Amino acid sequence: MRKLIIAIVLLIGFQSISQEYSAKEIDAKTFEYFSAENWKELIAFGKENPQDYYYFNVRMGVAFFNKQEYYSAEKYFKKAIAQNPTEYAKEFLFWTYFNMGESVLAEQVYDQLSNKSKMNIDYKKTAIEYVYLEGGIKRPNTDEVENTYYGNLVLKHRLGKNIKILHSINFFSQDPSTQNFNSYQYHLSGTYFNKTSAFSLGGIYNRNEFSYFSSTEFTGNFGNQIIEDIEGTSNGNTYSVYANYNKRLNRLRINANFNFATQNASQKILTKLYLSEDGSLISEDLIKSNVTENVFIPSVGFLYTPKFTKDRVSVGADFFFAFTQTKNNFIFKPYLNIYASKNMWFNTSYLQVKNHLFADYSSEIIYNTPDLSVNRFVATLNYAFTPKIITKLTYTFENYDFDTANLTYDINSIFLGLQYKF
């Protein structure tokens, strides 16, 4: 028994010694994997035998880059550049930031490159960053509400080295029937970028025009045919201003936001009752009202990319605290991002708003009907045909519950968007 224990200890010892590599052997092995483009084997070997010198770090960075694990690639490229600021490592760090969507950090690396490297990258800092056009249809599951058509135009451009300006104009237009709805919105924001943080100021103006008509026939006590006509209009202007600060801490991005929104709405309802025999007017009610509502909406949020997902999944949430004149409310908005490949990714979010004015800065949407509760699920599939052309297919499910109108229905929406980067 004693001899068996000694044999096992010696065997384990020999195996441990056989798995230890000298620095020279590690360098040779990582170079072998690197030259053969065996990225998976290189990453596994490098994790088991960590070193800290330029060639090791740059090889590991390239391996993670080719596996599209950009957060890990960033870490190794930054270490390699600190040890030896070569053009080779800087070019890879540029494309790492580019693929992460960190355009400002990418441009800061770009500015450090030689003219020859800049020509190889073929990246241009243009006055207009991109133009985005989107359109689609919103289809309700009830005959009481008609289809609504949607359009959106977005322009993003530069103002100096670290400032970017965004404009967007969108509209909703409903088929005229018993009711007619039109909404117009303009959004303007400016963002100042400073390495891994950004500060934004923005404002949204929204104009709603809503009218409806209903006519009902029924029989009176003496057999008289009575027609009831109801006409109503509601027009409202909503203004929203916000300030947002966000910062990335390695794999975690945090944000803090303050939003103020105010709405001025006017409503008019006209009711007429006629006797069918002579058409004489029985009753006429005219109701006019003006509604003003203010809401303060501070919020905090986060977005985190766990390492074990190999940078393929990001999870996050926004936490809104809405304060109105009559009530306070807490709103939780979770979201999920999935990166299927370098060219395709998927975003989804969920939001519930109950009976008060609300402005969501992240999706640029204003809910300005105080008697409306909304449950909203959004899923977007993004595909990049080229680095300049990106298409977006968005599906939205919404449940609307109008308290005053005693009306509940669902809406399914499909939007198709096209983005062109200059």
Report domain extents, the chain.
21-121, 128-421
Question: Can you name the residues that pair with 395 across neighbouring β-strands?
Answer: 379, 414
The CATH code of the domain at 21-121 is 1.25.40.10
pLDDT at position 41 is 96
Q: Which residues contact 119 (CB under 8 A, 6 or more apart)?
A: none
Q: How many H-runs (helices) and E-runs (strands) does the chain carry? A: 8, 16
Q: How distant is the alpha carbon of residue 113 from its chain centre?
A: 32
Long-range contacts of 213-222 (CB under 8 A, 24+ apart): 213/178, 213/179, 214/178
The conformational region for residue 311 under phi > 0 = left, psi -120 to 50 = alpha, else beta, is left
Residues 196, 248: contact at Cβ < 8 Å? yes
Measured distance CA(176)–CA(182) in Å, rounded:
10
Pick the CATH number of 128-421 from 3.60.15.10, 3.40.605.10, 1.10.10.10, 2.40.160.40: 2.40.160.40
At residue 388, φ and ψ (nearest 5 deg) are -100, -25
User: Radius of gyration (Cα) for the chain, nearest Å?
Assistant: 30
Coil/strand/helix, residue 157: strand
Alpha helices in 111-194 (DSSP H): 115-121
pLDDT at position 222 is 45
The residue whose two tokens read 């990582």 is 30
Rounded mean pLDDT for each run of 10 residues along the chain, 422 residues in total: 50 48 89 95 94 96 96 96 95 93 88 88 86 95 86 92 92 76 91 91 88 61 55 81 94 94 79 62 66 88 95 95 85 94 93 81 66 86 93 94 75 96 88
pLDDT at position 177 is 65
Q: What is the DSSP string of 142-178?
A: STTS--EEEEEEEEEEESSSSEEEEEEEEEEEEPPSS
Residue type, 74: E
pLDDT at position 18 is 39
Output the six-digit token pair for 421: 């980067």
Output the six-digit token pair for 203: 């404002």
Coil/strand/helix, residue 161: coil
Residues 266, 290: contact at Cβ < 8 Å? yes
**How much of the chain is in helix, strand and coil states, percent to nearest 5?**
25, 55, 20
Dihedral of CA 354/359/360/363: which sign? Answer: positive
Output the six-digit token pair for 299: 């919020």
Q: Exposed, middle or buried: residue 160 (CB in 10 Å: 0-12, 13-18, 19+)?
A: exposed
Measured distance CA(363)–CA(354) in Å, rounded:
17
pTM above 0.85, yes or no: no
Measured distance CA(287)–CA(135) in Å, rounded:
37
Same fold, 21-121 and 128-421: no
